Amino acid sequence: MINTFSLNKKIRIKCCNKIMFFNPDDIIYITKDGRYSIIKTKKKDYLCSKPLKYFESEFEKYKIIRVHKSYLINFNYVDYIKKENYRNIKLYIKKYDLQIKVGGKYLDKIKNSRIYNLNSHIHNIKS
């Protein structure tokens, strides 16, 4: 169960038999590890027994978007997006030394997203 509280901007997530509260600004990315998800925050990693799909629609309004079958990324942490060739587009988060390949089926969703102005972060990408 995901509930949001707009007053304090915390996201309530039932995870591993606990109710956890996350500030969406603290979430860097969410990835999968087998049947589990890992929520990577500024301070700690949290293992959760929910699939990525569980987080996908609710987190989109916080600029945490699915970019690959294994990743949801908080675009507030993305330094730039680079097109390395016609099929290889990567997101770069320099502070965490992270490069994430964008899945082909997610590129249009990112480009057309209302919550993210792609042009402000793109380096060397063409439609």
Instruction: Return the DSSP state at 78.
Output: -
Look at residue 4 and tell me whether its pLDDT is greater than 70. Answer: no
The torsion region of residue 48 among left (phi > 0), alpha (psi -120 to 50) and beta comes to: beta
From CA 4, how far away is CA 42, in angstroms rounded? 20
Q: List all residues 6 or more positions away from 17 whose beta carbon is below 8 Å from its beta carbon.
A: none
pLDDT band at residue 3 under the 50/70/90 scheme? low
pTM for the full predicted model: 0.79
User: Rounded mean pLDDT of 88-114?
Assistant: 82
From CA 114, how far away is CA 82, in angstroms rounded? 20
Look at residue 25 and tell me whether its pLDDT is greater than 70. Answer: yes
Set out the domains of the chain in order of their start, with CATH numbers: 24-123 (2.40.50.1020)
Model pLDDT, residue 126? 42
Angstrom CA distances, 87 to 82, 118, 127, stand at: 11, 18, 12
The rounded mean pLDDT for the chain is 80
From CA 19, how far away is CA 1, in angstroms rounded? 9
Percent of the chain with pLDDT over 90: 33
Model pLDDT, residue 66? 92
Per-residue model confidence as pLDDT tens digits over 29-80: 999 998 899 999 999 999 998 899 989 888 888 889 999 999 999 988 988 8
Model pLDDT, residue 70? 95
User: Rounded mean pLDDT of 14-36?
Assistant: 90
From CA 32, how far away is CA 69, in angstroms rounded? 9
Can you tell me which residue has the tokens 């969703």?
109
The residues that bridge with 82 in the sheet, in sequence order, are: 90, 123
Percent of the chain with pLDDT over 70: 78
